[in-house]
Amino acid sequence: MRESLKAHTGRALALRRDDVDTDQIIPAEFCKRLTKTGYADTLFGHWRKEDDFVLNRPEHQGASVLVAGHNFGTGSSREHAVWALRDWGFRAVIATSFGDIFLRNALKNGLLAVALPAPVVAELTEQVAAKAEFEITIDLQELTVTASSKTWGFTADHRARWLLLNGLDDIDVTLGKADRIAVYEAHRPAWMTSITRGTYSSQDAAKLRRVS
């Protein structure tokens, strides 16, 4: 199980760019690694070559809420984009909209992707830009975003929200049914394909997960 995510309060960082695609979030040359961690240095890899890029500024080190623009995470399916954002320290991204695949990948990997109306995002962007210590609270239980004594509501996929609140992913849900799976496998006809027939258990499932 991973850490549950019910609410998060953190310093924000504003990325004043629209239509940021997954190749800009993490360039393709960094997607050859075989692990799900270790991508912090690759986040916005090409842009970070610019000395004044926002992530390079000392005052923004430690920010955990990214305020982006329109259509964040568009482009190809690339879980590495989410992993890079998480590895750098972001727990949430706020934008007016997200690429569909990025949105699903984010929620499945424990990164809150919150869509708010354009005027709200613009207001947050201006406040973040004016104050490096500006904090934003995202409450997944209440489905609210709060900053500067103002609160806005947002929506989230029901199942994704349930998984995040309970610190689960799809594999955890499957492992929770390991005993029922074992019973089913034990009674399957002999001519049907089976994996470790009759001996599958929750312990076996845990071992398989550690290997994967």
* Residue extents of the structural domains in the chain: 7-165, 170-211
Per-block average pLDDT, block size 10, for the chain (212 residues)?
A: 89 97 95 89 95 94 97 93 96 97 94 97 96 96 97 96 92 89 83 60 56 50
The residues, ordered by sequence, that sit 6+ positions from 59 with a Cβ below 8 Å of its Cβ are 132
Please tell me the predicted confidence (pLDDT) of residue 41: 93
Residue type at 36 in one-letter notation:
K
Please tell me the predicted confidence (pLDDT) of residue 33: 83
Please tell me the predicted confidence (pLDDT) of residue 2: 78
Task: 22-29: list long-range contacts, CB under 8 Å, 24+ apart.
Answer: 22/73, 22/74, 22/75, 22/76, 22/77, 22/78, 22/80, 22/81, 22/99, 22/102, 23/75, 23/76, 23/78, 25/73, 25/78, 25/81, 25/84, 25/85, 26/78, 26/80, 26/81, 26/83, 26/84
Superfamily of chain region 7-165: Aconitase, domain 4 (3.20.19.10)
Please tell me the predicted confidence (pLDDT) of residue 208: 52
pLDDT digit string, tens, across residues 177-207: 989 988 888 888 877 776 554 454 556 555 5
pTM for this prediction: 0.85
Task: Please work out, in degrees rounded to the nearest 5, the angle formed at the alpha carbon of residue 106 by the alpha carbons of 3 and 21.
Answer: 150
Distance, in Å, from the CA atom of 19 to the CA atom of 71, rounded to the nearest integer, reads 5
Distance, in Å, from the CA atom of 97 to the CA atom of 160, rounded to the nearest integer, reads 17
DSSP string, 186-197: HTS-TTS--SST
pLDDT digit string, tens, across residues 146-177: 999 999 999 999 999 999 999 998 888 888 89
